[in-house]
Amino acid sequence: MEYHYDLHVHTSEVSACGSIPAKEVVRLYHQAGYDGLVITDHYADYFFQKMPNLSWEDKLSRYLAGYEIAKDAAKNCGLSIFLGMELRLSGPVPNEYLIFGIDTEFLLRKKELYQMELPEVRGLVHDSGGLLFQAHPFRKGMQQRPGEVDGLEVFNGNQRHNSHNDLSYQLAKTKNLLMCSGSDFHELEDLAVGGIITKERITNSAQLVKALKNQEFTLIK
């Protein structure tokens, strides 16, 4: 058996640049034959700071809306939904990082990750059993940080950006970094163009992290 998972998916409930609601995202990916998705909505100061009067718990509830809707919708079709994020740190460099293996409790305890420095974020993610990848590291304006991450997104399927996936793959090989692939799903044209194929079903975040650490998959690219 082969199982398909997309590791980079956005919902319109949370990611302003996304155009597809979470419930429809689940339907589309189930129809496309995928077995699971990591919801990686944008986690950045521009999202949270537009709600200055809300508590962190209430802000986080709004951030998790796409993930929660997707998880609920997936109960009807058997798709596995995992919580992740695409983190952008505050500051002039627009680098973005995919975080895998976290849960809602982690986000409740570790507030405002976007205000931290990358090494601190990585340490917190590791302490929680997760992994940190740099997303599309060669996209325009990005600065490559191979020494400060666990891996690189070596294939990004977003067709509206030139992510120079070949350069990302070469850097990961040269630096012996972990690799991942994702559709960077925002619009219908991004559907099911990236991800990983595994020989065993992944049903929880710990299994996903194990597969990423051991590179137990084929890249979809």
User: What is the average per-residue pLDDT within 109-133?
Assistant: 98
> How many distinct helices (H) and strands (E) make up the chain?
8, 11
Q: Report the half-sphere exposure of 91 (CA within 13 A, side-chain side).
A: 15
Distance (Å, rounded) from C-alpha 154 to C-alpha 113? 24
Helix (H, G, I), strand (E, B) or coil at 151: strand
- Residue 26: what pLDDT? 98
Total domains in the fold of the chain: 1
Question: Across the strands, what pairs with 9?
Answer: 39, 185
Reported as a single tens digit per residue, the pLDDT across 153-200 is 999 999 999 999 999 999 999 999 999 999 999 999 999 999 999 999
Reported as a single tens digit per residue, the pLDDT across 22-75 is 999 999 999 999 999 999 999 999 999 999 999 999 999 999 999 999 999 999
Full residue range of the structural domain in which residue 168 is found:
3-220
**Quick one: pLDDT band at residue 102, thresholds 50, 70, 90?**
very high
CATH at residue 85: 3.20.20.140
- Residue 179: what pLDDT? 98
Task: Please give the model's pTM, rounded to 2 decimal places.
Answer: 0.97
The Cα angle at residue 38 between residues 33 and 42, in degrees rounded to 5: 130
Distance (Å, rounded) from C-alpha 54 to C-alpha 28? 33
Amino acid at 72: D
The residues, ordered by sequence, that sit 6+ positions from 162 with a Cβ below 8 Å of its Cβ are: 139, 140
Tokens for 134? 């740099």
Residue 154 DSSP symbol: E
- Quote the longest CA-to-CA distance of the chain: 50
| Helix pair 22-31, 65-74: axis angle to 10 deg | 40
Spell out a b/e string for 102-127, using b for 16 or more CB atoms within 10 Å of the CB, else e. Answer: beeebbeebeebbebebeebbebbee
Alpha helices (runs of H) in the chain, residue ranges in sequence order = 22-31, 45-48, 56-63, 65-74, 104-109, 118-127, 165-175, 205-214
- Residue 33: what pLDDT? 98
